[in-house]
Structure 1
């Protein structure tokens, strides 16, 4: 399993926290930092050798820009097709989708529409914890800026097989996932998806 903290500039404290989370376990943890230069000699080989790639939160706009400079947009297409599990939180979730809402450009939420699009859906994160996330995401889906997609409350994950959502999972009670799409009247329609609670 490897961790990418590109969205926070490869903050060493977050890298250390990642290793600490798996200390004493059977997980073979590693990380790939890109600042000031890649920490592995062959980025492609390193990523293809993983079972799981976990991407941390932060600035999805900066993450995507840096990944493209290093050719990771193309590498991740190959890694995904090879069956490596691609996962993450916040920016680390948005990046695999077409796009979603982001505060990467400042406190006002704006759309990001140039995600890697391995998943042909939009993604709404922090749906319950940041008051503007839900209405802005709804508006962007309703006006066609973003395609239909899935949103999550904090603590909820989306599980895809290929490009199809197979379930939502949650690490806490009361949290939910949602399908959001443009309705026949041009408004956003939100449908809750009950997650499976992780024990």
Structure 2
């Protein structure tokens, strides 16, 4: 069952410590699945997630960890792999069978290049318009915007300006745990390299209906979501947004 409107959940969240597994799924992933089942739960059973790990080269060990976390949470999880070749014949038809497409972190630059080689931007745009929820963390958050900052090229952060552009402006991720991101985003917004940036601390996310930000949400306490925009004097101005705590 699709979401009621085109929906994107862009986050720096989703996973939490687990006493037996590498990680478990937190409230943010549960929220994504709620969004994906707005028109009613699937008649055939468990919520269905497709994990897309292009940004980390479809790492097989991480895919197994995702499957274990999904089993523990009671979700049905499968993968779209593009390395060394697509693991399904009809990508669009395959992806249409899920409630949520969850894009994992890694290199957003490599993700965008590989997706474009396989026609994913056009496929994902159609699915988004048809109500399949698009969501993700880190690179899987930045990709939906026009741009952001990334360590995809090496240890020094650099701008990326060729995002998919489903959402306007830029996206900053891991703002509280990677302290080099904030000053660079301020500089890039101030000089016009990037448009207005919506930024998430670890544990937070941004919910969009169509291209409009509906709310900021968090799965932990004491975290911030901010907007960085260019002021009239050409200086970047940062403001805090209200955040709803997920339970």
Give me the TM-score of the superposition, normalised by structure 2: 0.78
Q: CA RMSD in A?
A: 1.0
What residue number does 1:19 align with? 67
Confirm or deny that 1:100 pairs with 2:148. Answer: yes
Confirm or deny that 1:85 pairs with 2:133. Answer: yes
Distance 1:111 1:65 in 2: 15
Distance 1:195 1:37 in 2: 40
Confirm or deny that 1:34 pairs with 2:75. Answer: no
Aligned with residue 54 of structure 1, among 92, 102, 105 = 102
Matched residues, number? 199
Contact 1:48 1:82 in 2 (8 A): no
What residue number does 2:123 align with? 75
Shift of 1:25: 4.5
What residue number does 1:117 align with? 165
Distance 1:137 1:46 in 2: 37
SS of residue paired to 1:137:
helix
Aligned with residue 205 of structure 2, among 157, 172, 197 = 157
Contact 2:185 2:197 in 1 (8 A): no
4+ runs deviating over 3 angstroms: none
Aligned with residue 3 of structure 1, among 51, 61, 66 = 51
Structure 1 residues 133-148: aligned runs within 5 Å:
133-148=181-196
Shift of 1:92: 0.3
Give the structure, 1 or 2, with the largest relative contact order (CA under 8 Å, sep 6 or more): 2
Shift of 1:7: 0.4
Distance 1:91 1:129 in 2: 15
* Cα deviations by residue, 1:120-168 (Å, 9 ceiling, x for unpaired): 1210111111111000011111111111120011111111111111111
Alignment gaps of 5+ in structure 2? 1-48
Distance 1:82 1:6 in 2: 23
SS of residue paired to 2:61:
helix
Structure 1 residues 160-171: aligned runs within 5 Å:
160-171=208-219
